[in-house]
Structure 1
Amino acid sequence: MKKVLISAVAALLLFSCQNDQAESSDVNANADASARRTCATQEVFDAQLEADPTLAIRMNEIEAFTSKNLLTGRLVNGKIEIPVVVNVLYRTAAENISDARIQSQIDVLNKDFNALNSDYNSVPALFSGVKANVGITFVLDQIIRKSTTKTSWGTNDAVKKVAQGGLAPTSPTTKLNLWSCTIGGGILGYAQFPGGASATDGVVIDSKYLGLAGSASAPYNLGRTATHEVGHWMNLRHIWGDANCGSDLVTDTPTHNTANYGVPAYPHYSTCTGTPVEMTMNYMDYVDDNAMYMFSQGQKNRISAIFATGGPRAAFGI
């Protein structure tokens, strides 16, 4: 277990998950199973910091607030319902995803954040004492559609800006905005951490990986890209802390030496101090959709702190 380290570097992360087609000697190069989640965090972070140098100050303030609330126990009761606005930007019929697929994604979020996912009971006994029901629900509030000629949107938040052909967020202080589009570059999705500008707040998911029964095949066809990205939107770091043996600022997750991919065999030992068994099935790792199925109690507490009075997402709280 790790110490919680609060630093400006750790507080300045905007997360982006990327699927990188890596060569493999034992996997067919044309198969989707050869894809690996990787991260474009530094590229996206550098752009945001250059555009808004005050981001560092805001993120440090949020981290200090989160730490204080964890220590004092002044957390909300977890009974939070989050309205979700889904902004669909499409060029082709396939990108114009159906209402049913959108609802299936909301259903996945509700299962994963309320420990109702069918694989929740697959959590190993070693972690059974810290697996958590986050207790936050999601309700589809509105679907907004816009036809576009763009073939890809990238990660510079153009999809969120009307002047660049995108759709601005709707009531971002009280609603989670989710954009569905073709991101490009093999990127599955990305999220904005609490503390960023409200004009770009929310989560972006490539339309191929949103919901169930989409055009994507395994390993990213179970809607867990959104679960992972919404976790970031709720102030969760990657479980390996985006550094070799880094800290995710959560005390009950083992120290990971780096990201995990695919479906790791259990137990998978870290190379970090103490060689702990890694929590590879955590939603904040980079494993395949069917290999991630839990949040920890520490992650739940960290999420709860942002909804507390005075927190960056207090408007969603009770």
Structure 2
Amino acid sequence: MLKICTRAFLSLLVLLSFFAQAQRRTEPCATMEMDSLLRLRNPSEGSLDEFERDLQRKMVQIKARMASGKGAAEIITIPIVVHVIHSGEAIGTGRNISQAQVQAQIETLNEDFRRRVNTNGFNSDSRGADIEIEFCLAQFNPQGQRMAEPGIDRVNGNRTNWARNDIEGSLKPTTSWDPNKYYNIWVLDFAAQDDNLLGYAQFPSNSNLSGIPGSGGAASTDGVVINYANFGNAQKGNFSLLRAPYNLGRTLTHETGHWLGLRHIWGDSNCGDDFCADTPSQASESRGCQKGRMSCGTANMVENYMDYSDDACFNIFTRDQKTRMRAVMEVSPRRSSLLTSNVCGQLVVGRPTPNFEAENRVVLLGAQVKFTDLSTNFPTAWQWEFEGGDPAVATEQNPTVTYRTAGKFKVTLTVSNASGASTPLTKTQYIEVVNAGLCATVTNFTGTGTVIRQSTGTGYVSGQNSRRTQAVAELFPNTLGYTNLRGASLKFGVAKAARGNETEAVVRVKVWNARGFQGGPGSELTTKEVPLRRILDDVRNNRATTVVFDQNIDLSRQNNLSFLIGIELDYVAGDTVALTTTLNGESLNATSWERNSSGNWDRYIVRTGLNVAHNITAQVGMKASVQIQASAQFINPGEAVTLQARGASVINWSPSEGLSATLGPQVIARPSRTLTYLVKGTGSDVCLDSASATIYVRNVQILSNETLPEKDFAISPNPTDGVADVSFTNGLRGKVTLRLRSITGQEVWRGEFEKTSDLFRQSINVRTYPAGSYFIDLQLGDFVDRKRLVKY
């Protein structure tokens, strides 16, 4: 069956900003291990359908140009800088490879991409294509100085080899040259744990396209990494350190294909789709040079650069692969900006030309926007003017600006060098600041809730399993720039407790920043222990478990507003929890992460091939919220617990039972039975003004499921033919959430109300609903209950 290239390519660019590991000598299908898909949902921008229509038009234009022959003269030239990472060796020795070896590699890259006749890379197959992309070694460094060794940046890394975490976390960010002007290639020696790794690449970012958020792959890590013993061509010189059979320079060709948006020819799965119609399906990667290999009902194209064959076997890119790479060069912002870099030609003496882009163009009131200078001809000074921004002017090359007023604002940039100043460039209504949604809930979950069982072994993908997964998490890109994280709701689909362990067992809900390997979990920001008994009750009643963190998480201090929320998994015999996810393929964003038994994070799509989102909702805002911290959750009757409230200037506590006071940010509680204390804050502008904490008291009879007492929650009349009143009385105050569910548990109505006195009463109109049985769920802080309602 032919694969549909255009539609599938759209899917690829929906999955843009992958990090893809290319080739391994021993481990099959290792490409996705480095996958870091960063295409994330941004509700403020266009729909996915709009994006697909835009891209379809671009693909049609490119194919039309190719068919007419008008595209034949459009040779694209991409400037390269090779960062040679060594440990003090003399040039041409060991890891500090020679200039000749670098030049031989770039010659090979050009031969492969230009389909040179009479070279080792030529294939006469009619599907073969001259990609019409060439690569040049940069002549000038970022300061505009001519380089003694064109395109080579030698870096003494003061170590012999590098682990991937160190490459991504420290080496790349400190040595990268502007990826808008240079194709960055790092050549180094991988650490022992990656000794079989040849290289990996970062896929292109599409952050400026309609329907795609501005937060694509990180600029500081953009490029490819190649093992120094596989960089170069043994047929072009006496490069004794090159390791056969990967010694003819095809690792860089393969990785550059990834860098320009290509996937592996076998689609990273059995008879998978690599998104091009003219590459035949195959069951898996090829090894050696298996010419004549048959799988998936067809002869495999083992010579394709995007397979895993030996270097000597590779010799073809196809026409549809060409279309894809050419489209990326037109639509991907950092890729397209390379076309005007001008660092390979003669240095032009003259004034620079200004250009810039914003990381996000639609932000919330109070959010920060990072600007990137894209000016050409080597400016040495920058003069920015930000209408509505703070600061209003700046002289940095890449400033960060805060917008505190709603509206649409212009940005002006003037650049200069020794030859003089440019004409100012003004982009009108460039930044839009919206004064809505300053307090919100965000989620990646849309679709059908499910719990996916482990395909091999036992357990659940999003919970305990035979792979001994240590943690699972959901990535929130936070493209609108929310600065505060208050809490989260997590929908568990499975919860079981070992006999006798449900009393004080806890599940740890955690938050991480997104500054880890490939934008995954980095430093832990907070941990909240949730009693397993609460989760058990929530699962029984088909509701999410709501967690309020002990204190506000200030996301603006993380240098990266993205964050992850998830759970840490313990392995106690009989205990099992698993989060609900979408069905596989319902989520296109690959926001789900897991930490394996060795403690390494990676995406589900890498480890399991699943593209899902966890059913987790984050409570975020541009303002803080009231939060509460308890010094203990489980106590003996009468023991002291310190309760600390934050986020408001005036604090009220309820109920008064067991409390040392009912006013003030800190009180002492000595409850004799399990109680939930509610705190309400006033006098401050906050997102949410109340929070609660349940103190579990041992050795006393616990109220059934920690719900409201039966007598306090009433529905009248019941049965009803139209309107029913929900009422209860107690000393708590705060937001009350009512949900009407069908007999199958589906939510058909929800309302949120404020309880300001002891008595709460609210009418629910069910007149338009079919006759039958329903459930009404009531929630006030951590108090929850459910009653049956009959409509006749």
CA distance in 1, matches of 2:226, 2:269: 24
Match of 1:232 in 2: 258
Aligned counterparts, 1:165-244, within 5 A: 167-184=174-191, 185=194, 186-195=196-205, 196-212=217-233, 213-244=239-270
Structure 1 residues 298, 181: CA separation in 2 closer, same or farther (over 3 Å shift)?
same
Aligned counterparts, 1:154-173, within 5 A: 154-156=163-165, 158-159=166-167, 163=170, 167-173=174-180
Structure 1 residues 177, 66: CA separation in 2 closer, same or farther (over 3 Å shift)?
farther
Match of 2:101 in 1: 101
Answer whether contact 2:231 2:249 (CA < 8 A) is retained.
yes
Task: State percent identity of aligned pairs.
Answer: 35
CA distance in 2, matches of 1:61, 1:9: 13
SS in 2 for 1:287: coil
1:40 Cα shift?
A: 3.5
More strand by share: 2
Q: Which has the higher contact order (CA 8 A, sep 6+)?
A: 1
CA distance in 1, matches of 2:101, 2:289: 25
Structure 1 residues 260, 119: CA separation in 2 closer, same or farther (over 3 Å shift)?
same
Q: Give the counterpart of 2:294 among 251, 254, 269.
A: 269
Which letter maps to 1:281?
E
Structure 1 residues 61, 235: CA separation in 2 closer, same or farther (over 3 Å shift)?
farther
- Which runs of 5 or more structure 2 residues have no equivalent in the other structure? 43-47, 139-150, 206-216, 234-238, 341-792
CA distance in 1, matches of 2:103, 2:256: 16
Deviations 1:185-234 (A, max 9, x none): 11101000001211110011010110122412321010000000001001
1:165 Cα shift?
A: 8.3
Answer whether contact 2:75 2:132 (CA < 8 A) is retained.
yes
Aligned counterparts, 1:30-109, within 5 A: 38-45=28-35, 48=36, 54-57=38-41, 64=52, 66-73=55-62, 77=71, 78-91=74-87, 92=89, 93-109=93-109
Structure 1 residues 218, 309: CA separation in 2 closer, same or farther (over 3 Å shift)?
closer
Deviations 1:132-170 (A, max 9, x none): 0011111111211111232322333x3365x45874321
Answering whether residue 325 of structure 2 is matched by residue 298 of structure 1, we say no
Structure 1 residues 9, 138: CA separation in 2 closer, same or farther (over 3 Å shift)?
closer
Q: TM-score, normalised by structure 1?
A: 0.80
Answer whether contact 1:101 1:214 (CA < 8 A) is retained.
no
Structure 1 residues 90, 278: CA separation in 2 closer, same or farther (over 3 Å shift)?
same
CA distance in 2, matches of 1:248, 1:316: 26
Answer whether contact 1:66 1:306 (CA < 8 A) is retained.
no
CA distance in 1, matches of 2:327, 2:262: 11
Structure 1 residues 291, 57: CA separation in 2 closer, same or farther (over 3 Å shift)?
farther
Match of 1:132 in 2: 129
Answer whether contact 1:174 1:315 (CA < 8 A) is retained.
yes
Answer whether contact 1:191 1:233 (CA < 8 A) is retained.
yes
SS in 2 for 1:19: coil
Match of 1:26 in 2: none
1:82 Cα shift?
A: 0.8
1:44 Cα shift?
A: 2.2
Structure 1 residues 44, 63: CA separation in 2 closer, same or farther (over 3 Å shift)?
farther
Structure 1 residues 258, 87: CA separation in 2 closer, same or farther (over 3 Å shift)?
same
Match of 1:254 in 2: 280
- Structure label with greater radius of gyration: 2
Q: Give the counterpart of 2:152 among 143, 152, 160.
A: 143
CA distance in 2, matches of 1:112, 1:312: 23
1:42 Cα shift?
A: 3.6
More helix by share: 1
SS in 2 for 1:302: helix
Q: TM-score, normalised by structure 2?
A: 0.34
- Which runs of 5 or more structure 1 residues have no equivalent in the other structure? 22-36
Aligned counterparts, 1:101-120, within 5 A: 101-116=101-116, 118-120=119-121
Aligned counterparts, 1:2-21, within 5 A: 2-4=3-5, 5=8, 6-7=10-11, 11=15, 13-21=18-26
1:173 Cα shift?
A: 1.3
Deviations 1:5-48 (A, max 9, x none): 35479825421134334xxxxxxxxxxxxxxx744344322xx4
CA distance in 2, matches of 1:8, 1:299: 12
Deviations 1:98-145 (A, max 9, x none): 11101111101111110116134444xxxx221100111111112111
SS in 1 for 2:105: helix
CA distance in 2, matches of 1:147, 1:215: 19
CA distance in 2, matches of 1:281, 1:79: 24
Structure 1 residues 237, 105: CA separation in 2 closer, same or farther (over 3 Å shift)?
same
Answer whether contact 2:29 2:268 (CA < 8 A) is retained.
no
CA distance in 1, matches of 2:178, 2:132: 23
CA distance in 2, matches of 1:258, 1:302: 22
SS in 1 for 2:175: coil
